[in-house]
Amino acid sequence: MDPSEDSYFPTQLEFGDAFRSAFHEFFGDEKDLQYELYDLKSEGSGPKAKWATFSIRNPLGGRSIVFRFDPDSGTFYAMLKVQVIPGEEDWSLDSFFQKNGFSEIGSAEVQNTAGEWVFHSLARHYLGTIFSHCPRILEPDYKLEP
């Protein structure tokens, strides 16, 4: 299949590129931090079968930040995933930011004002907030609750 024929292909590329470039802008090289960056995509058919995900993982800290976009519904999720015994906890970054006074706006407001550069705007909003207010959020000793 020719990638130019798939209208979702540019969305997938732009999503991952936007978050990767914003990460490098704010934090530098992921290898220096011992973090891993993942860019995953699904191209299936049917409801909720297409999505793009970008993850930032600290393998030593048991924490990841996951950004996910569903192009069919326009739904965006930003979650902090923390490994606990047993299993995993999911924290909404929008709720976490608002609860701690880091940001008054969430992904819906960013999407509504972003225009053509929606993924770059989302990436800069989330990674910029993390850089400014909680740069150690992926470290195991960073306390999520006061």
pTM value is 0.86
Which letter does DSSP use for residue 6 in this model? Answer: -
pLDDT at 2 over 50: no
The CB density around residue 40, as the number of other CB atoms within 10 Å, is: 13
Segment 55-64 shows an average pLDDT of 95
Residues 26 and 131: beta-carbon distance below 8 Å: yes
Segment 87-106 shows an average pLDDT of 93
- Mean pLDDT of all residues belonging to the chain: 87
Q: Which residue has the higher pLDDT, 86 or 36?
A: 36
Determine the Cα–Cα distance for residues 7 and 36; give it in Å rounded to an integer. Answer: 28
Segment 127-140 shows an average pLDDT of 96
Residue 43 has, within 13 A of its CA and on its CB side, a CA count of 10
pLDDT at 115 over 80: no
> pLDDT value at position 86?
85
Radius of gyration of the chain (CA): 15
**What whole-number percentage of the chain has pLDDT above 90?**
61
Segment 75-94 shows an average pLDDT of 92
Report residue 60 as tokens: 């030593």
Encode pLDDT of 27-50 as tens digits: 999 999 999 999 988 877 766 778
> pLDDT value at position 3?
41
Q: For the chain, which residues make up each domain, given as ranges?
A: 8-94+104-129
> pLDDT value at position 4?
41
